[in-house]
Amino acid sequence: MSTRPEDPEVRWTGRGRVSQDILEADLSLVAACGACGVSVGPVVVFGGVGVCADCMRQGLNAMSVARWRFDHEAGKKGLPWGKISG
């Protein structure tokens, strides 16, 4: 099983990359999302694959729904985001 990334790298088209505390300007850098294939502004890189904010959001939403469905199937009741008070 793989370990969690300690410090993901951010690559930004036309600007460069940031990893840990190191900022490296690179105006020729093109950041592309490995999930949707679109060249975008910023991507966060995990294990060599860049992922854009839209794809990360979709993935996190899918994980939340899957968690809720598994919990619901196991008999746990409640909303995936917790109690709503009003």
- Token pair for 21: 């505390």
Q: What is the pLDDT of residue 46?
A: 86
- Closest to 32 in 3D by CA, of 24, 19, 41, 23: 41
Query: What tens digit of pLDDT does each residue of 21-55 get?
Result: 899 999 999 999 999 999 989 999 988 899 999 99
Rg of the chain taking only CA atoms, in angstroms? 17
Q: What is the pTM of this model?
A: 0.73
Residue 55's nearest CA partner among 71, 83, 31 is 31
**Predicted confidence band of residue 71 (pLDDT cuts 50, 70, 90):** confident
| CB half-sphere exposure, 53, CA atoms < 13 A | 6
Which tokens belong to 6?
A: 């300690």
According to DSSP, residue 41 is labeled: S
